[in-house]
Structure 1
């Protein structure tokens, strides 16, 4: 209440301050107003940080709940699959042919009944069905019909749905040690990049400037892609670049103070990266359309910035509103 009264002082309070100190009364009121505004901004910032941490905790709990529910659903589907056995139609026909017909009501079981004559076509058909039934018996257990479970596509599709988010990308800061032209391709260049490991990684990049100004520069690399051979040179990582609509390209640069090997993370997507991205899951292909540079030049994934913890955000040198790949 005291601070609020200083922000909007009454005439009596202002007059009292002026009377108390005619020379510095206005400066005292201005000082208190500034102090109150700073206190309010600090309180709002702390509240936003608390809300953000709360949301992260709730997000983690929801992920754990979803994982538990997914495991329970898979267990139920497996149990249901184990119960849903059926006898194939060919085996049912064969069993029906082998089973004796029930005697009519009131008739004696000892008196045999003559079966109706059958044509040669029916006999051949019956023999073929018996042969198919005998093959079923040979493939399965002895003296019983083979049972096969009904396919359950729901369980397979559920197991084939991994979580796709940028925390699975192993993004690291690297320093370009050398750059040279590919000996077999004029549009490719070969870089040796230090990513904080014992030996530098070789990176083959298409359509990147061969300017010596890139030597010694810091860049952002995707390090858990599968190594591939491009025109006889093995590429062990991917350099992330920004591309505009008019085919201009720039290296994505980490914040000042970054060191080779620093991890690039996303605040809204905690987690550890994959050891190696599997080609069948197409993680990079699914995430890449949402990797963009916003209007401020900050690299983002769905609005969440590329961050080196304690050092800042990754940016494009001059491009804005462009894609990252």
Structure 2
């Protein structure tokens, strides 16, 4: 800034004209232009550095948020399991009182009433039997605390809110190198890099039309290899009984990474669906395209908040897979 201001000094301009009467004015203009360009370059470099710093900070904040969200989900599951255990576990029965000799009340006629007394166990067996019963009770409580709550909690929470459904853009489509019935898509999910998705669309004749189109993608499935190609997500399609297949379409204005939610089923999805529970298989029977072509779970539509509902391009009353 100081150098530029010095160039506009009238005495400096006069000195240049005196030294070179013909080109002094042009030299002066050249110096001014060069100084202004240098200043703009310095400002631009400072802006770029600041932008890079903000990007790094945003990435760190995003990782922190994901970590905190995972911790919150774990706490919610443990709290639910603890509540279900307290509701499901019956109160412990009272241990029977040790046998005491019963008093024999006198009969009205003076005869002695005979009260049956159970036979005493052999000497040394009573204490051992109580120990075995106590160990069995402790074993039952221990088994219930380690398995039942989690199983009950998982069963009560199996609904569509556990699926991480998002909008993706199909960047490229190609046939699977080892299967004529499969295809391989590269899908932009709004993340740092696209995901590879293997789907059973190899028999479709219009695969090239899927390129650059939007789709509904299940993102929290465990990555698996399908005939040698690792699939990192699942492309949601609808199909009729005669195997006519269409890819579900998000509403207009959707962008890669947009969450798909359900009004009647709020909640955060799992980070990764547990393979042992087969949650996707349990939910799939309730995923349908209705008579209006809207993708639904138990009648509740697939919704991109503020943008609309997900639909099938032309099919109605068919299953989603």
Range into which the TM-score falls when normalised by the shorter chain: 0.5 to 0.7
Q: How far apart are 1:162 and its partner, in Å?
A: 3.5
Question: In structure 2, do the counterparts of structure 1 residues 176 and 154 end up closer, same or farther at CA, with 3 Å as the change threshold?
Answer: same
Partner of 2:136: 148
Greater Cα shift, 249-258 or 157-166: 157-166
Q: 2:190 aligns with which of 167, 187, 196?
A: 196
Change (3 A) 1:70 1:216: closer
SS of the residue corresponding to residue 253 of structure 2 reads coil
- Assess if the C-alpha contact under 8 Å between 1:85 and 1:147 holds in 2: no
Corresponding residue to 1:303 among 294, 299, 304: 299
Find the aligned partners of 2:185 and 2:262 in 1 and give their Cα distance. 27
Q: Which residue number in structure 1 is paired with residue 199 of structure 2?
A: 205
What is the RMSD of the two structures over their aligned residues, measured on CA atoms?
3.4
The question of 1:75 aligning with 2:69 is answered no
Alpha-carbon contact 1:176-1:219 (below 8 Å) kept = yes
Provide structure 1 residue ranges, at least 5 long, that are not aligned to the other structure. Answer: 1-66, 87-94, 100-129
Structure 1 distance, partners of 2:94, 2:171, is: 62
Cα deviations by residue, 1:255-306 (Å, 9 ceiling, x for unpaired) = 0110000011111111111111112222211111111111111111111111
Query: How far did 1:207 drift?
Result: 3.1
Deviation at 1:148, TM superposition (A): 2.4
Partner of 2:66: none
Could you list the per-position Cα deviations for residues 99-157 of structure 1 after superposition, in whole angstroms to 9, with x for gaps in the alignment? 4xxxxxxxxxxxxxxxxxxxxxxxxxxxxxx9xx9xx89xxx9xx99722163688726
The answer to whether the 8 A contact 1:297-1:319 is kept is yes
CA distance in 1, matches of 2:262, 2:313: 20
- Aligned pairs for 1:134-145 within 5 A: none
Q: Select which of 308, 314, 317 maps to 1:312.
A: 308
Would you say how many aligned residue pairs link Structure 1 and Structure 2?
A: 213
What is the SS of the residue equivalent to 1:185?
Answer: coil
Match of 1:165 among 159, 163, 171: 159
2:30 matched to which residue of 1?
Answer: none
Instruction: Give 1:186 deviation, angstroms.
Output: 1.6
Any conservation in 2 of the 1:85–1:148 contact (CA below 8 Å)? Answer: no
Report the equivalent of 2:174.
180
Distance across 1 between alignment mates of 2:215 and 2:153: 36
Distance across 2 between alignment mates of 1:257 and 1:68: 39
> TM-score scaled by structure 1?
0.57
CA offsets 1:40-60 (integer angstroms, 9 cap, x no match): xxxxxxxxxxxxxxxxxxxxx
1:148 and 1:306, CA in 2 relative to 1: closer, same or farther beyond 3 A? same
Residue 71 of structure 1: how far off its partner (Å): 3.9
- Correspondences of 1:157-306 after superposition (within 5 Å): 158-159=152-153, 161-208=155-202, 209=204, 211-306=207-302
String of CA shifts for 1:11-44, please: whole Å, max 9, x gaps: xxxxxxxxxxxxxxxxxxxxxxxxxxxxxxxxxx
Describe the SS at the equivalent of 1:203: strand
Report the CA distance shift for 1:173/1:145 in structure 2 as closer, same or farther (over 3 A): closer
Q: Secondary structure at the match of 1:262?
A: coil
| Unaligned stretches of 5+ residues in structure 2 | 1-77, 97-119
Q: Distance in 1 between matches of 2:219 and 2:186?
A: 13
Partner Cα distance (2:320, 2:133) in 1: 59
Task: Name the CA shift for 1:69/1:200 in 2 (closer, same or farther; >3 Å).
Answer: closer
Q: 1:178 to 1:75 in 2, by over 3 A?
A: same
